Amino acid sequence: MKVTIVGTGYVGLVTGACLAEIGNDVFCVDVDPRKIEILNNGGVPIHEPGLQEMLRRTRAAGRIQFSTDVKASVEHGDIQFIAVGTPPDEDGSADLQYVLAAARNIGKYSNGFKVIVDKSTVPVGTALQVKRAVEEELKARGLEGSEKHGFSVVSNPEFLKEGAAVDDFMRPDRIVIGIDDDRAGDLAREKMKRLYVPFNRNHERTLYMDVRSAEFTKYAANAMLATRISFMNDLSNLADTVGADIESVRRGIGSDPRIGYHFLYAGCGYGGSCFPKDVQALAQTARENGKTLRILEAVEAVNHDQKEVLVNKIVKRMGEDLRGRTFAVWGLAFKPNTDDMREASSRRIVEALLQRGATVRGYDPVAREEAERVFALDLADRPEDMKRLQFVKTQQDALTGADALVIVTEWKEFKSPDFGHLKSALKTPVIFDGRNLYEPESMTEMGIDYYAIGRPHVELDRNGTRI
């Protein structure tokens, strides 16, 4: 099938590559010539495991192309996926300018019946706005009501985890498709069914529903996952106070099949491109409709505060004035297996340390270049702080001579370090662990002063001996 993907970000690029992998003829279009140049030169503008190899195969087979030519992209695909960004507006609502611009382009250059698929995460009612934008362009061309230039707007939200997006697409647990119940919708259903046949061979994964329910499903899914994270983070702070171990609590409640273990890990807050903006957008949708989603407002508040918890532990241990102190920070991306720095906890933590006069040496196995770019923007009006922020190439470079280690992202390479070497590299054997990677008792036995999230802390004297 001939498919067009509008937008070559995480969602668009993964969608295009995976659809090309199973044999479709895919045309990826983007208004950013820099991205297209990188892709046409064999590179990938994002870090996503398995994506570069898949693009190499599909490009060699002639099943995927990249261009800035909007007219050609519309003429190419019978199915037009809109996978552009929907950044949060000032009030927290999703900014639909890029989605509607893509819709107008489809109407402007349409050369036949088109299935227009909203793949971007969009609020309830967006499909109707997309439909009106296309109709306006067709009317301007004198083609309004033309059967040849008919179209149907479909909602097909993505459920891809950054760092595992390729696998999630190729082995989906569900495919949600929202389609209008009319003649155009019937044609769209047949095309979408044919497109997704390879993913339904073992068992049917596709859930058909009305468009508004499909749009709502995406936000509801992310809001539920964010709620679980904030719930555990809130409990972890109480565990700190009452002396409970949140990891034991997690195992205790997760063993209940009605609850399960997923997304029950306490830490220093969630980030990324999805949870923060989707929680805000769903809460804003409620407000626009005269409702208040009180749980989601609490979820957002807990997550905001959670990004300060690790800093508070550092200040309590080492004092408010951190001038002359150096901190090694392991992990800058918002999660492992990605270089995405959007809403990353590291941004708040590092800035808080710098504001208190500390020097920070940050290490991330993938996100170093993106972190340098992001912090340069974040600290543009604080050049003195920027001078005390260093990005290093290895874990060892971060550790040597630092007063303490701060762990922010749970990369695999951080899970089993040489603790003897780590202890000797630091000026003082202190670890502030925002992801609960290690066992407190083991750290104590090794003479490491270990502070985690919602886990017991054992006091050590200056020589590392248990008090």
Say whether pLDDT at 465 is over 70: no
Of 126-130, 203-207, 451-455, the poorest mean pLDDT is in 203-207
Say whether 135 counts as a known binding-site residue.
no
What is the token pair recorded at 143?
Answer: 């083609």
Is 13 annotated to bind a ligand? Reply is no
- CATH for 219-305 is 1.10.1040.10
- Residue 272 is labelled as binding a ligand: no
Residues 6 or more apart in contact with residue 293 via CB below 8 angstroms: 282, 283, 286
So what's the pLDDT on residue 215? 96
The predicted structure's pLDDT at residue 181: 85
Strand partners, 359: 326
265 is in an annotated binding site: yes
What residues act catalytically? Answer: 274
Tokens read off for 289: 């409709």
- From the centroid of its chain, how far is CA 462? 41
Checking if the pLDDT of 92 tops 90, the result is no
Average pLDDT, integer, range 21-49: 96
Pairwise CA distance, residues 375 & 390, whole Å: 11
- Determine the Cα–Cα distance for residues 417 and 412; give it in Å rounded to an integer: 10
Question: Predicted confidence band at 292 (pLDDT cuts at 50, 70, 90)?
Answer: very high
Longest dimension (CA), the chain: 83
428 alpha-carbon distance from chain centroid: 35
Residue 115: band (very low, low, confident or very high) from pLDDT cuts 50, 70, 90: very high
Q: In this predicted structure, what is the pLDDT of residue 463? A: 61
> Burial letters for 252-284: b for 16+ Cβ neighbours within 10 Å, e otherwise?
eeeeeeeeeeeebbbbbbbbbbbbbbbbbbbbb
Q: DSSP secondary structure string, 431-461?
A: EEETT--S-HHHHHHTT-EEE-SSS----B-
Domains 219-305 and 307-451 share a fold: no
| Residue tagged 């859930």 (tokens) | 207
Q: Is the pLDDT of residue 458 over 90?
A: no
Q: Residues 221-239, buried b or exposed e (16+ Cβ, 10 A)?
A: bbbebbbbbbbbbbbbbeb
The residue-averaged pLDDT of 110-134 equals: 95
> Would the annotation count 267 as a binding residue?
yes
H or E segment to which residue 93 belongs: none
Report the distance separating Cα 84 and Cα 296, nearest Å.
25
pLDDT for residue 201 is more than 90 = no
Return the pLDDT at 146. 74
Top CATH class, 2-209: alpha beta
Contacts with 336 (C-beta within 8 Å, 6 or more apart), sequence order: 163, 409, 410, 411, 412
> Residue 118: what are its φ and ψ, rounded to 5°?
-80, 100
Tell me the per-residue pLDDT of 400-426, one tens digit each, with 9 for 90 and over.
999 999 999 999 999 999 999 999 999
Q: Is 102 exposed, middle or buried (0-12, 13-18, 19+ CB in 10 A)?
A: buried
Does 447 show up as a binding residue in the annotation? Answer: no
Strand partners, 43: none
| 387: nearest Cα among 347, 357, 426 | 357
Q: Over the chain, what is the mean pLDDT?
A: 95
**pLDDT at position 143:** 86
Do the Cβ atoms of 157 and 217 come closer than 8 Å? yes
In the chain, where are the structural domains located? 2-209, 219-305, 307-451
Average pLDDT estimate for 144-171: 92
In the CATH scheme, what is the homologous superfamily, with its name and number, of domain 307-451?
NAD(P)-binding Rossmann-like Domain (3.40.50.720)
Residue 264 marked in a binding site: yes
pLDDT at 330 over 90: yes
Crossing angle (nearest 10°) for helices 211-242 and 126-140? 140
Binned at pLDDT 50, 70 and 90, residue 273 comes out as confident
Query: pLDDT for 58-67, tens place per residue?
Result: 999 999 999 9
Please tell me the distance from the alpha carbon of residue 250 to that of residue 262, in angstroms, as a whole number.
10
Confidence of residue 443 (pLDDT cuts 50, 70, 90): very high
Dist. CA 434–CA 448, nearest whole Å: 16
Parallel, antiparallel or unpaired: strands 2-6 and 79-82: parallel
Q: Which of 94, 89, 92, 159 is nearest to 124 (CA)?
A: 94
Q: Quick check: 310 and 432 in contact, CB under 8 A?
A: yes
